[in-house]
Amino acid sequence: MSQGIHHTEVDGIPTLFAYATGPMRAGLVFRVGVADETLAGAGITHLVEHLALHRQGLADYHFNGATKAAFTHFHVEGAEHEIVAYLDGVCTSLLDLPMERLETEKEILRTEEASREPGQLPLWRYGAQGYGLVSYPEWGVRGLRPDDVRKWAGTWFTRDNAVLWIAGERLPAGLSLKLPAGQRRPMPAVTSALPTAPAYFSDGKGGVLLDAVVTDTTAARLYAGVLERELSRSLRQEGGYSYTAASDYTSRRDGFATVTAFADALPAKQDAVLGGFVDVLAGLQVGRIAQADLEAVRGRSDATLTAPDAAVRRLPGAAEELLAHRPPRGLDELRAELWAVTPQHVHAVALEAAGTALLQAPSGHRADWAGYTAAPTTSSYAVTGTRFEAVRKDGPAMVVGGEGVSLTAGGEAATVLYRACAALLSWPDGGRRLIGTDGLSVEVEPGEYGIDAHTMATIDAAVHPSAVVLLPPRQRQQQQRRQGGAASAGQAGGSGAVQQAQRKASARRTGGQTAMLVIFGLLAGLWSLLALSYTVFGASDPETSTGEWAALTVFLWAVGALLAWPAVRVVRSTRRG
């Protein structure tokens, strides 16, 4: 039992209590999150959270919910009777979700998703499963049926898979949490899409982002703080390259944690920021850890642990620890560990982080010079089967086999096996995208490869129905961008011969459009000059009647318009693409 946090039970649910004055605070935490879903069913936990909160309406007290990678939180702050009403309402709704709100909440989730920019690091590290799903859209929401949602709620949102925490002067009177029996769920499996580490990939963002998985210790928390100070000193104060240089530490609650670091950069400063960022990491890896930096970070951490509300602040995290079968530790124990950390301990964490690091470099930048291996954007093999050449020249070829599908070009391939297909996105126009559990995807556009209806039906039948995601019609602009059957690492884009072949075909199309634009533009311009000259001077010709002048003027301008029209079409199609 953690110092300042008392362990009790309410209606069979483990409960953590910490004394606090002022408004009462409480939270109900479940061991379920995005990492427990599948890519094809992504969003179901978030949908349950929204439905469970609907009946709360517009209340005067503060409440909300949050769906994380491995946990779902319902939290509230208010008077004692408001806490009781909120928690009772959440439990009652979980037992009988308001399915009349199902379609409305789906729309709300889609609106919420449109403004969210998920990070790409989880996708590249974990693939299209488990913890990597936080990088993907909630594709599963659209097709969820009431029975699907009820079954998910009944399986995961149970009293045996929950922990309650309360901060107040006492446990609220009349508190009743009626939830069905169930079982404590294990933590999500940890997958990997990185054959080797440290690794890197290039992205269109302007800054440098890195994460590393380390053992969850007090020394690791201090390492994150020291790293932030070094990045800020080097990239902002001394170099003036970055405005924001920061780090974060997030416990995964399974004995490991993720250290994340970021530094922003203007386009002209990207090389300097990337080089400075790597230099800071290298300095820590060789043991250049200033005692003053360690003491500054340690002091801030100790102030947090000795603050009057230290136990209260720890309650949500302590609930997660308990759900993960990791009993919360006392404040005295944590402080003892904090003051025992030396620069050598931090150096050991820096070496551990170096072995698991994943770096996101600005687009067009490499990091192999710093010892990072390019994260895979192609597969090590291609399936055997029927080969379909691209309709356009220089495009990659599509191979459809009994095991899966591959895009091949220049000796490289991007492959998704049916048995490892995390999701098959299906559009009414016949387009398909197969996404493998490793994060690689293959787009199948029948018109771009002359693939017959029977072969497309074979692909659809080979993927398990639970992995199929039926999507609404695509906008024309979206459809044009997908022509050519792109293969990429998840949503982040890829490189190699497959991608180069696609870019070459695109460049060839663009070059042809440019030539047409120049030719027809010149013809239209010259003809328009002729028409303008006749319009101005033809009327003064004594041998030409007014009627003849008018008819010929109309004819000349009409021909000019016909010549200009192809150029206009080229410009419009270029803008759409």
Judge if 220 and 315 occupy the same domain.
yes
pLDDT at position 112: 92
Residue 191 located in a structural domain: no
Judge if 314 and 357 occupy the same domain.
yes
Residue 311 located in a structural domain: yes
- The span from the CA of 427 to the CA of 540, in Å, is 63
Residue 66 located in a structural domain: yes
On the question of a cis peptide bond just before residue 198, with omega within 30 degrees of 0, the verdict is yes
Residue 215 located in a structural domain: yes
Q: Which residues contact 16 (CB under 8 A, 6 or more apart)?
A: 2, 5, 6, 7, 163, 164, 165, 166, 315, 318, 319, 322, 328
Judge if 301 and 359 occupy the same domain.
yes
Per-position pLDDT tens, the chain of length 577 = 445 899 999 999 999 999 999 999 999 999 999 999 999 999 999 999 999 999 887 666 798 999 999 999 999 999 999 999 999 999 999 999 999 999 999 999 999 998 888 889 999 999 999 999 999 999 999 999 999 999 999 999 999 999 999 999 999 999 999 999 999 999 999 999 999 999 999 987 789 999 999 999 999 999 999 999 999 999 999 999 999 999 999 999 999 999 999 999 999 999 999 999 999 999 999 999 999 999 999 999 999 999 999 999 999 999 999 999 998 889 999 999 999 999 999 999 999 999 999 999 999 999 999 999 999 999 999 999 999 999 988 889 999 999 999 999 988 999 999 999 999 999 999 999 999 999 999 999 999 999 999 999 999 999 999 999 999 998 864 554 444 333 344 433 344 555 544 443 333 333 444 444 445 455 555 655 665 555 555 555 545 555 554 555 555 555 555 655 554 443 333 333 3
Residue 503 located in a structural domain: no
Judge if 220 and 262 occupy the same domain.
yes
Residue 345 located in a structural domain: yes
Give the residue from 448, 473, 498 where a domain finishes: 473
Report the residue count for the chain. Answer: 577
Structural contact between residues 184 and 14, judged by C-beta atoms closer than 8 angstroms: no
Residue 232 located in a structural domain: yes
Please count the CA atoms within 13 angstroms of the CA of 185 that sit on its side-chain side: 26
Judge if 159 and 208 occupy the same domain.
no
Judge if 367 and 235 occupy the same domain.
yes
Domain extent for 102: 5-168
Instruction: State the CATH number of the domain containing residue 457.
Output: 2.30.29
Residue 568 located in a structural domain: yes
Number of domains in the chain: 4
Give the residue from 473, 500, 519 where a domain finishes: 473
Distances in Å between the Cα of 158 and the Cα atoms of 26, 27, 73, 83, 179 are 18, 15, 13, 20, 6
Judge if 138 and 263 occupy the same domain.
no
| Sign for the pseudo-dihedral over CA of 188, 194, 196, 197 | negative
Judge if 219 and 347 occupy the same domain.
yes
Instruction: State the CATH number of the domain containing residue 87.
Output: 3.30.830.10
Judge if 463 and 415 occupy the same domain.
yes
